[in-house]
Structure 1
Amino acid sequence: MYPGVTMQDVKDMDIKIQARPANRAEDLARRLEKLFTEEWGGPKSALAVAYLRDTVIPDLIFCLNKNWPFLDNPTFRDILAAKLNTQFAYPPSFAEGLAGDILACAKEVLGACPAAQNHPWQPWEIIMRLFTIGCRLPEIMQKTGYPEVYLDLFRKQYLKLEEVVLSLGSPTEEQLFSHRELAGAGIHLIRFMADFRNRFKVFKNYLERLQAEQMIMDMDLALEPDCLIKLFEGLFEVEKQVNLHRFADILKGSKTAWLAGENYYTRTVAYGLLAGWPKKQIIALLECLLAGNLLVQDAGHDSVLSLSEQAARLIAPLVVPALADEVLSVMRSKARDKISRSTAVLTGKNPEIAVHLIRELVRRGDPAVVLCFKALPRRVAKKVFLQIVWACGRLGGKDAVNLLSKTILDRDSMVRVCTCQAMAQMADPSFYFSLINALDDPVAMVREQAALALGRLKMPSALKHMERILSNPSEEPQVLRAARETKALLLKEKEFKEND
């Protein structure tokens, strides 16, 4: 996580971070209370003192421990001052001086962090990473202890910089510094944001690297992001084939851990990745990943490993393009076994990877892959099957019509819902009677989607069925809304045809 710090160093540091609040919380709380009440002439009333003790000081202790490496960081000092100003209503000039004294007090009680981060960009790096990987404001507040107002302003400033860059094309730093829309951001923040934005052009798969960095930070691992990604890629290739100890041997580079049929790619990704680590340490790392729900261990007697949904989602952009190439290459070939070979790619992969693979195949727009999908129903995980139904609606064609005509009768109501949505996407007239029958489905959501899909078919003969739904006083509100919407569309269509 930090340059030059070993896994044991990070574990020891984590113990200190966790132990200090427990062992010295009272000391730090007393020091902070004295700082507020005596040195800064803080609250005097009983109610205000109670608020200080029960809310302000615990929140500050949480923030200080979360940001132990930043106690000497100038940006964190500004953030702490903003916290005192916006969260606890201290005037700006008062908050700036108080923030400095709070940090001095925290350094005396907590001591110096062995992995101190004093570069002014470091706190911004954490904020920007969390925003970029999709974390919401409350989650970022919980992870950092930073005030909501500061985080929201930070986000708006970055979005404003995005707008300015898009409007100017490729602006220079001087143009950004002098732009009136960015006047309140400051030179250092503008420079950081411009640099962060540029990394997506310079570094390949930078988003995945950011996600890996956050996983590492959340779990306090001494591991480079690229190493974690390659570890996941390596396990993906041997998923459900190895247990924890066998995979540890693979990561260490033991030749005896090779599996039959493994290719060069597998061996170059995984074997010897952690060759310099003792096996005990590798096992400890894997157990940590298991505890953090990044790896999953089969409950059966083999206890084989697989990737969790989160880990599989991280590497999906890295492995899916090659898998899509493989499926399309097989489907376009003249091989007699092309269906079984292409389905083997989908059925033999992690469900999350299979979902992303189907999306990629749809993006490439080759309807031939629907033949492969037809051979898969009920042989794959439900989430994969639902994605297949969705893909049929996007790709269309005769095979998609045949498949959807069967899935509309599936025993699973969610499959029937997704089928109605896919039929709406295709808007094929041959779905008419299937959708009319679906209006009597026992599940309201299916009836709702069937009614909406009939509107996409634009067949006025469905009007009488909408009237039937609307005349039913016991029908669910969402179904009635869908019927009214479809009725309006069909009446317009009928009027158009009559006037044509």
Structure 2
Amino acid sequence: MDIKVQPWPMGGAGDLAQALEKTFTEEWGGPKSALALAYLRETVIPELVFCLRINWHFFDNATFRNILTAKLNTQFAYPPAFAEGLSGDLLKCAKEVLGLSPVANNHPWQPWEMILRMFTIGYRLPEIVQKTGYPEAYLDIFKKNYLQLQEVIQALGQTNEEQVLAHRDLAGTEIQMLRFMIDFRNRFQVFENYLERLQAEQIIMELGLELEPDSLIRIFEGLFEVERQVNPSRFVDILKGAKSAWLTGESFFTKTRGYAILANWPKKQITTLLERLQEANIIISDASHDQVLGLSEQAARLIVPLVVPGLADEVQNTLRSKARDKISRSTAVLQGKNPEVTVHVIRELVRRGDTSVVMCFKALQRRVTKKVFLQIVWACGQLGGKDAISLLSKAILDRDSLVRVRSCQAMGQMAEQSFYFALINALEDPVALVRENAAIALSKLKMPSALKHLEQLIENMEEELQVQRAARETRAILLQEKEQRESE
């Protein structure tokens, strides 16, 4: 498979801008006033140039033409009938200047695919506008239609297409759009790790690469195996199958079918791909350590479903073994790994509910990044136990205020009364957010003796409002608890 950057339109932005202005002024009568002409040149045409260039491969796509019509209508206030005819001429003009894209895509679903992919992986509407050039009004309606469809499917309790399409709440939505949305939604049931695939597709689209999403994810998975051990040239050699002294035994490259695919790629194209990923900060390099490569958070998230279950199994199996060094061996599995992956391993271990892993977390607390340590603090609150009590009792004294906040939250989650004095002391913390969360956590301990300390917060006229509010809410809970005890 070739790895290459998609070609850019042959015409420049300046040529397209001049041609579009000619279409407006000569073929469509153009603006009559100097003010309107300035608006056309300074606002309308630059917006259209951006939209047309970024959607070069959609010039003959019927859906894109409708979107362009909506842009003229909702964004620039051209009447619908006028905008429809104008959009056709603008596309004709753009084709004459830019030519036809070698990767043209005329499938009517493809522009919707771009929109829904970005919406699904967490992009906000203004971000989608910036990346597509589509009008926000159109995107907003599209989003509402998709959310409405999800509500209908949930209410019906099934995804029978004909029943869904006939539902009265979807009566105003285009049938073809609904069919696409149903198909898109169903893919999550058919394809494994489809969300990660969508994220890979977005990276490929934004970098203009011709590359399969699965291949990109394999590259990230392979780099995870040797993260912070190789520089770019060495990693390219590995992808090509070159033997290295440290590459012994089974690894990602020798035990997956991805090895054969990667080994067949031309070295120059792999180097180009790697450079593009580095330029976009998707793969990062450490200049202070021979440019060794690592995964960004964005790249690491794509391989989470592939590597996290195995790492969690390894931690649990090591802790369950009879080895004397099982704690150090289990921590070694997590220590030095990509922080984003380690965070998800911790979440997976919490999901499995194995409280013995807190021993591993306790041993890691001073040897991991802040992001990982915050996740460890959260995990202690979820799993509990004496090791969690020990760790949180120290963490609430940490110099980092965010660690102290998370510690208060975890203590509240555990509702362990031995945390009482630590939380009372935290009510005097110099950071308001810590005091607020300490007050909230005390409500979970149900110890009326905290009332006098809460009163001091409430009566302090210089105290932050959110802290006083938390103190009042906790006081109400503790007063109720006190009355209940006295009545028993």
TM-score (norm 1): 0.93
User: What is residue 16 of structure 2 aligned with on the other side?
Assistant: 28
2:199 maps to which of 192, 197, 211: 211
* Contact in 1 for aligned 2:3/2:273 (Cα 8 Å): no
Taking the aligned partners of 2:169 and 2:456, their CA distance within structure 1 comes to 57
* Contact in 2 for aligned 1:421/1:449 (Cα 8 Å): yes
Whether 1:111 and 2:99 are equivalent positions in the alignment is yes
Q: What per-residue deviation string (whole Å, max 9, x for no partner) do you get for residues 3-37 of structure 1?
A: x9x544x35x1xx33x7334xx2x33333223223
User: What is residue 280 of structure 2 aligned with on the other side?
Assistant: 292
User: What is residue 152 of structure 1 aligned with on the other side?
Assistant: 140
Taking the aligned partners of 2:344 and 2:43, their CA distance within structure 1 comes to 45
Which is further off, 84-93 or 178-187? 178-187
Q: What per-residue deviation string (whole Å, max 9, x for no partner) do you get for residues 216-251 of structure 1?
A: 111112211100000000010111121111111110
* Contact in 1 for aligned 2:427/2:438 (Cα 8 Å): yes
Taking the aligned partners of 1:342 and 1:138, their CA distance within structure 2 comes to 44
How far apart are residue 381 of structure 1 and its match?
0.8
Q: What per-residue deviation string (whole Å, max 9, x for no partner) do you get for residues 457-497 of structure 1?
A: 11111111011222323323332222222222222222222
How far apart are residue 431 of structure 1 and its match?
0.3
Matching of residues 68-467 of structure 1 within 5 Å: 68-254=56-242, 256-257=243-244, 259-269=246-256, 271-467=259-455
How far apart are residue 206 of structure 1 and its match?
0.8
Taking the aligned partners of 1:476 and 1:457, their CA distance within structure 2 comes to 23
Taking the aligned partners of 2:438 and 2:454, their CA distance within structure 1 comes to 11
Which is further off, 230-239 or 258-267? 258-267
Q: What letter is aligned with 1:313?
A: R
Q: What letter is aligned with 2:413?
A: Q
SS in 1 for 2:263: coil
Taking the aligned partners of 1:39 and 1:396, their CA distance within structure 2 comes to 74
Taking the aligned partners of 2:31 and 2:228, their CA distance within structure 1 comes to 61
How far apart are residue 352 of structure 1 and its match?
0.9
How many residues align structurally? 487
Taking the aligned partners of 1:479 and 1:167, their CA distance within structure 2 comes to 41
Taking the aligned partners of 2:407 and 2:194, their CA distance within structure 1 comes to 36
Cα distance change of structure 1 residues 416 and 177 upon mapping to structure 2, 3 Å threshold? closer
SS in 2 for 1:274: helix
What is the RMSD computed on CA atoms of the aligned residues?
1.8
Taking the aligned partners of 1:38 and 1:280, their CA distance within structure 2 comes to 48
Taking the aligned partners of 1:105 and 1:187, their CA distance within structure 2 comes to 31
* Contact in 2 for aligned 1:253/1:273 (Cα 8 Å): no
User: What is residue 37 of structure 2 aligned with on the other side?
Assistant: 49
How far apart are residue 330 of structure 1 and its match?
1.7
SS in 2 for 1:114: coil
Taking the aligned partners of 2:480 and 2:248, their CA distance within structure 1 comes to 62
How far apart are residue 171 of structure 1 and its match?
4.0
Q: What letter is aligned with 2:12?
A: P
SS in 1 for 2:39: helix
Q: What per-residue deviation string (whole Å, max 9, x for no partner) do you get for residues 61-117 of structure 1?
A: 111111000011000001011111111111211111111111111111111111111
Q: Which runs of 5+ in 2 are unaligned?
A: none
Q: What letter is aligned with 1:21?
A: G
* Contact in 1 for aligned 2:3/2:270 (Cα 8 Å): no
How far apart are residue 295 of structure 1 and its match?
1.2
* Contact in 2 for aligned 1:420/1:446 (Cα 8 Å): yes
TM-score (norm 2): 0.95
Percent of pairs identical after alignment?
Answer: 68
How far apart are residue 345 of structure 1 and its match?
0.9
How far apart are residue 261 of structure 1 and its match?
4.7
Cα distance change of structure 1 residues 368 and 478 upon mapping to structure 2, 3 Å threshold? same
Which is further off, 395-404 or 182-191? 182-191
Q: What letter is aligned with 2:456?
A: R
Question: Higher relative contact order at CA 8 Å, sep ≥6: structure 1 or structure 2?
Answer: 2
Taking the aligned partners of 1:472 and 1:372, their CA distance within structure 2 comes to 42
Cα distance change of structure 1 residues 147 and 374 upon mapping to structure 2, 3 Å threshold? same
Taking the aligned partners of 1:21 and 1:58, their CA distance within structure 2 comes to 12
SS in 2 for 1:293: coil
Q: What letter is aligned with 2:145?
A: Q
Taking the aligned partners of 1:120 and 1:230, their CA distance within structure 2 comes to 30
How far apart are residue 317 of structure 1 and its match?
1.9
* Contact in 2 for aligned 1:407/1:416 (Cα 8 Å): yes
SS in 2 for 1:170: coil
* Contact in 1 for aligned 2:331/2:363 (Cα 8 Å): yes
Q: What letter is aligned with 2:41?
A: R
